[in-house]
Amino acid sequence: MSGQTTTLAKAITMGLRAAMERDSKVVLMGEDIGKLGGVFRVTDGLQKDFGEDRVIDTPLSESGILGTAIGMALRGYRPVCEIQFDGFVFPAFDQIVCQLAKMHARSKGHSRLPIVVRIPFGGGIGAVEHHSESPEAYFAHTAGLRVVACSNPVDAYWMIQQAVASDDPVIFFEPKRRYWEKAELDTSAGPPAEALDQARVVREGADITVAAYGPMVKVCMDAASAAAEDGTSIEVLDLRSLSPLDMDTVVASVRRTHRLVVVHEAPVTLGMGAEIAAQVTESCFHHLEAPVLRVGGFDTPYPPSRIEEEYLPDLDRVLDAVDRSLAY
């Protein structure tokens, strides 16, 4: 019973279950994660099987969730915190940025904070405000946090376990509009070749590199298929880790294709694409045939859902950037 078709959400459930079976110190904390199984059902059935001491339905306070998770971690536990939606992580921001991120360094390495903060992120599900944000850059900007984003069920299954196993705090972004996408998951096949902090070439190509993560990987793969019909060969990278960034993989790809487009839902200004563009410019300037281009959200509040499709990068906007790069 090792191979099965699994949604991304279910793959995380399975990954959490495996992590909890492996280590009795792993505890889950969050709002509505017990009986309800979380609003996305990611923790479905876990409280029933592991009990209320290990799957903790918390009071409605995100600062409380993170602050107490830090205390539990100091006591030797490995809390996995669920933030219900991206827009609700901010009450916990102080605990994450000022406490969680710095405590290992402040204790001169004495304290370890093996905490995972799971955050469903991104738009495209027709939700009301605060339910479609992409706050990853705030966290990637904070030293001491590892920041990752999964894009498919197989990675989701393995990456959540690797995140739980990490002795550093990990902010774990889940692409909520991909929760229901399915893939074959063979749990006996072992984890992927890449470590948690490594990117992956998900489609090889010769003419241009398109780098993305989380929900945008699928958009870029679709763009690559469409471009192939027109004779353009796009290489697609799934960055997977946003902090640290796996620049070796990015740079190696750009050295082959000489062109780079970075795609994310978050606003382009000071987003992940800005950092990648700067680093690529520094480390392989002479290999570039065009400036690094960014496709992302606008510098506006996330719009009401009836026009969110216009805000979100889609196949056309990715291909538009590809064309502009190739025409350079």
Partner 1 sequence: MALAPEEPELVQLLTPEGELVEHPDYRVDFSDEELRGLYRDLALVRRIDAEATALQRQGELGIWASLLGQEAAQIGSGRAMGPNDHVFPTYREHGVAWCRGVDPLNLLGLFRGVDMGGWDPEEHHFHLYTIVIGAQTLHAVGYAMGLQRDGMVGDGGPELTGAAVAYFGDGATSQGDVNEAFIWASVFQAPVVFFCQNNQWAISEPLERQTRIPLYQRASGFGFPGVRVDGNDVLATYAVTQAALARAREGSGPTFIEAYTYRMGAHTTSDDPTRYRIAAEVEAWKLKDPIERLRSFLIRTGKADQDWFEALEEESNQLAKHIRAGCLDMPDPSPMTMFDHVYVDPHKPLANQREQFAAYLASFESTSEEHS
At residue 161, φ and ψ (nearest 5 deg) are -70, -40
* Cα-to-chain-centroid distance, residue 15: 15
Count Cβ atoms below 10 Å from residue 71 Cβ, excluding itself. 10
37 touches partner 1 (CB under 8 A): yes
Q: How far apart are CA 50 and CA 273, in angstroms?
A: 41
Of residues 131, 141, 258, 287, which has the active-site annotation? 131
Nearest distance, CB of residue 320 and ligand TPP, angstroms: 35
- Partnered with residue 55 across adjacent β-strands are 28
Of the candidate residues 36, 60, 143, 189, the single one contacting ligand TPP (CB under 6 A):
60
Residues 297, 306: contact at Cβ < 8 Å?
Answer: no
Nearest distance, CB of residue 61 and ligand TPP, angstroms: 8
Three-state DSSP at 203 gives: strand
Total residues contacting ligand TPP by CB under 6 A comes to 6
Quote the longest CA-to-CA distance of the chain. Answer: 59
Is 131 considered catalytic here? yes
270 touches partner 1 (CB under 8 A): no
With CB under 5 to 8 Å by kind, the binding choice for 127 among ligand TPP, partner 1, none is partner 1
Nearest CB to ligand TPP, comparing residues 31 and 207? 31
Tokens encoding 250 = 């990015």
3 touches partner 1 (CB under 8 A): no
List strands edge to edge, sheet with 170-175: 55-57, 26-30, 78-82, 116-121, 170-175, 146-149, 241-243
Count Cβ atoms below 10 Å from residue 309 Cβ, excluding itself. 12
Please choose, out of 83-91, 111-119, 167-175, 286-294, the segment that lies near ligand TPP by the rule CB under 6 A: 83-91
Nearest CB to partner 1, comparing residues 133 and 194? 133
Of the candidate residues 67, 91, 144, 191, the single one contacting ligand TPP (CB under 6 A):
91
126 touches partner 1 (CB under 8 A): yes
Of the candidate residues 233, 303, 315, 326, the single one contacting partner 1 (CB under 8 A):
303
Q: How far apart are CA 258 and CA 328, in angstroms?
A: 12
Residues 129, 170: contact at Cβ < 8 Å?
Answer: no
84 touches ligand TPP (CB under 6 A): yes
Nearest CB to ligand TPP, comparing residues 60 and 228? 60
141-200: contacts with ligand TPP (CB under 6 A): none
Q: How far apart are CA 152 and CA 8, in angstroms?
A: 6
Please choose, out of 14-22, 84-92, 176-184, 296-304, the segment that lies near ligand TPP by the rule CB under 6 A: 84-92
Nearest distance, CB of residue 325 and ligand TPP, angstroms: 40
Q: How far apart are CA 149 and CA 168, in angstroms?
A: 16
Binding mask 80-119 for partner 1 (x = CB under 8 A): -------xx-xx----------------------------
Of the candidate residues 128, 188, 190, 231, the single one contacting partner 1 (CB under 8 A):
128
Sign of CA dihedral 78, 1, 40, 214: positive
Classify residue 291 as exposed, middle or buried by CB count within 10 Å of its CB (0-12, 13-18, 19+): middle
**If you search the block for the tokens 């949604």, which residue do you land on?**
7
Residue 251, CA distances (Å) to 139, 164, 218, 290 in order: 23, 29, 22, 14
> Which residues would be at the binding site for partner 1 (CB under 8 A)?
31-32, 34-37, 39, 57-61, 63-64, 87-88, 90-91, 126-130, 269, 298-301, 303-308, 310-311, 316-317, 320
Tell me which residues are annotated as active site: 131
> Which residues would be at the binding site for ligand TPP (CB under 6 A)?
31, 60, 62, 84, 88, 91
